[in-house]
Every structure is written in C-alpha cells, then in structure tokens.
Amino acid sequence: MSDLSTAIKQIQQMLSMQNAMNSRVSDTWRENNFEWYRAIWVECAEMLDHHGWKWWKHQECDVPQVQLELVDIFHFGLSLRLMAEPNTQVIAEQLANELQQSVEHTDFKLALEDLAAAAVSDKAFDGKAFTACMALMNMDLDELFRQYVGKNTLNFFRQDFGYKEGTYIKIWNGKEDNEVLADLVSSLDTSSVNFQQNVYDGLKAAYPV
C-alpha cells in the first residue's frame, strides 16, 4: 500500500488524467452536468454479475473483471469529485485518506450495495465503500493506479482512433482491446515517468491497421 504522500501524488495524477479525458470527450464537460452518479450505480450492477450473487446456480467470481469494473467506477468517482471541488489538492488529500481507511465489510456484495446506494440516494461517490470493495478484491491503491493509467490511456487511444465516429476496431487479432491492454501493462515498468506514454505507444504498435 502507498504511504499517504505517495497516495496523494498518485491521485493527483489520476485527477489530471480524468480531467484531460473528460475534456477530450467534451470541452464543456463541467457545464454539461453529466450523470456520473448514474454511471456508478449501473456499473455496480454489472460488476455484481461478474462477482456472482445468484444463490440458485453455480457462479465463480471473475476477479480481474471485477477489478476492471472498479477502475471504471473510479473514473466516474473522480469526475464527481472534480465537479464538486475545483482544488485538486483538496480532492487528492480527501481521497487518499478515504482509500486508506480500515475496512469494515467482509461481504463484497454489501460493500458494493453501499457504493451503489450513495450514488443513487446522494448522487455521490462513497470512497469508504469503494475502499472496502477494493480490499475484498485484493486490490490496493498501487494496483488501482496501475490499472487506471492503463484504462485511461486506452480510452484516449479509442477517441484518437475513431471511437466516437464508430470506426474504431475493438477486436485486435482475436483479442478485445482490454485484453491487449492487460497484457501490455503487465510487461511495462509502472514506476517509469513515461509509463502513460509507453502504454499509448504499445497500443499504437498493436492496433490492427
């Protein structure tokens, strides 16, 4: 687990990347009042299917997919926080403290329901519930950071290669782009100052055109 100062730096970098991604989709994203909270609870429902909740049939938890959904939710959570507070240092400090809280939950489903409930009832991102979800999926802040940078970079890549226009290729030589990303990120040095650029370059080299 990152120490507090490292955690704040990681979160500040993710906030900067999130603002850049949102601005890439829409220059006026702060004025558009997008329903980030709705994206959170919809993702929670999708994540529950990957985790398994049906008592009447055999299910196995797909941990990598659940972690990926948590990363997607963090994108929306960061966006909500950016809408509410202009000072990214303040947001980073708040989130760093929330993400290092002790975990009270022992049941992932209940922690996830707390996360969804805050999104539905308060239109908010519950950092404490998110921390519990991460911990119960063996995910710490360093792993969140690694996966976030990868997915954010992939989102940029998608936009650059026609995602909005409908010309983007999602399957690369038999693999979904998310799978290509996972393989790529695991082969790179996440501590490198050029990590984000290295991810983008790797995606570009693998894109089937």
pLDDT score for 2 = 61
Residue spans of alpha helices (H) in 137-194: 141-160, 177-186
Integer angstrom CA distances of residue 47 from 31, 69, 189: 29, 6, 28
CA distance 90 to 96: 10
pLDDT digits (tens, 9 = 90+) for 156-185: 999 999 998 999 999 999 999 988 998 898
CA distance 188 to 138: 21
Superfamily of domain 4-206: Type II deoxyuridine triphosphatase (1.10.4010.10)
Measured in residues, the chain has a length of 209
Residue ranges per structural domain of the chain: 4-206
pLDDT score for 51 = 94
pLDDT digits (tens, 9 = 90+) for 31-57: 998 999 999 999 999 999 999 999 899
